[in-house]
Amino acid sequence: CVGCSAHLNYTVRKVWRVGSRGSNVVQQLLVAGMLDVLNHSGSSRTVRVPPESLTEVKDALQDAGIPYQVLIHDLAAHLQAADEEGRERRSADNSSCTVSSCPAPLNTHYMTFSQMEWYLRDVNTSSPTRITVSSIGKSVEGRNIWLAHILPSQPSDKAVWLEAGLHAREWISPAVALHLIHHMITNTSATSSVDVFIVPMANPDGYVYTWITDRLWRKNRRVNGGARCDGVDLNRNWDSHFGVGASNNPCSEVYQGPSAFSEPETKALRDAMLKLKDNLELVLALHSYGQDLLYPWGWSTGEEAPGKHDLIAIGQVFTQAVKNATGTEYAVKNAAEGYYVASGATDDWAMEALHTKYVYTLELRDQGRQGFLLEPANILACSEEIWQGITQVIKKINA
Ligand code: 0X9
Ligand code: ZN
């Protein structure tokens, strides 16, 4: 059973909906490590409150006169029920990706980290003229961070960078990244004029942890010396206005870490990106959820990103192509205004340090109905729409 022990961890954890005037208080409680925010768009906030901070959170909301509503009394039981529904469907397809053979990413099933590695190993061997897979470094717990380089048909000086899986619980992100790799090696023409670099799983330790212990884990698996809580939010750990709109509390879901690039995962990504600096024309970080294409800056609402007009125009090429593909609506938004102020993310660093012209964080499906627990039935269609979006963008910026 996927993440069965994960459910135990949630005994008596609650999920509440907090009224719209509560977003500032919620942000403060998030930074203080008292709760976890499960949505960001829309007016109300859905939060997960652990037993140890129930009273403090209640008091803070009551003091501020903010109403809240209990959505889930017992998250453990809720996740268990959702898991049982999906179990049969999941086991059906598993046999097509095993240690001895994994020719394609799974469609009806999220892949384990091992399955991802088997797939990357197999395509690397079977399509040597199309792809080169190499490790760019190791995670805190020693897992490889794999980089897939999809080769153009002729030498090119243009490169595209896709990052996926930086947040552990956003399972659709690595799933889509693996399908994009598969599209690119089987459909040779669409990306033949650019070098495409894809990191399908940037936070392997966190991902493995979501499979066996805590399905809603977000951070990496750093043991924070001296603190009672583990993990650093890898999307707060980049050296770009480090510490703004993030937290220095290890118990917070948005803990920035002791210093910028303190984590081996962000260091590995940084170093690989720096090598491509002059050639990168597009950097896309795949996250979930919200169906939003976010452009910088994320660290401030007061400053405009260079080339904002072009970022929006190309963003619209993306969302239009997505809509044409499956009918799914994505919106182009500024990260700080559309979501919240948060620094130390991949996007701001790429724009500031690499001067890449087109930089986005893409929040994939859905808009909150299933959220992080998005049904695997979405994998194929979501991959298809993102594939269309990316190929149209590449075409447009190279036209
Ligand atoms: O908060 C984040 O890291 C991203 N959203 S998520 O729900 N996937 O965690 C948004 C990041 C947007 N970019 C910046 N704020 N710089
Ligand atoms: Zn994320």
Give residue ranges with CB within 6 A of ligand 1. 40, 167, 170, 235, 287, 294, 298, 335, 339, 342, 345, 347-348, 361, 363
Question: What average pLDDT does the chain have?
Answer: 91
Cβ distance 389 to 318 under 8 Å?
A: yes
305-319 residue pLDDT tens: 999 999 999 999 999
Q: Which of 219, 361, 363, 367 to mutate to test the pocket of ligand 1 (most atoms within 8 A of CB)?
A: 361
Q: Report the SS3 class of residue 364.
A: strand
Give the whole-angstrom CA distance, residue 255 versus residue 269: 19
**Greater pLDDT, 365 or 3:** 365
Average pLDDT estimate for 65-91: 73
What's the pLDDT at 3? 41
- Give the position of tokens 């996927």: 2
Query: Of 281, 363, 375, 385, which one is the catalytic site residue?
Result: 363
The whole-model pTM stands at: 0.90
- The proportion of the chain whose per-residue pLDDT surpasses 90, expressed as a percent, equals 72
Listed residue (132, 150, 158, 131) closest to 277, CA to CA? 158
pLDDT at 84 over 70: no
Average pLDDT estimate for 53-77: 85
Average pLDDT estimate for 123-135: 96
What's the pLDDT at 19? 77
What's the pLDDT at 290? 96
How far does residue 235's CA lie from ligand 1's centre (Å)? 7
* Beta strands at 144-150 and 131-138: parallel, antiparallel or unpaired: antiparallel
- The proportion of the chain whose per-residue pLDDT surpasses 70, expressed as a percent, equals 92
Average pLDDT estimate for 264-282: 98
Dihedrals φ, ψ of 84, to 5°? -65, -35
Average pLDDT estimate for 260-273: 98
Give the whole-angstrom CA distance, residue 355 versus residue 17: 39
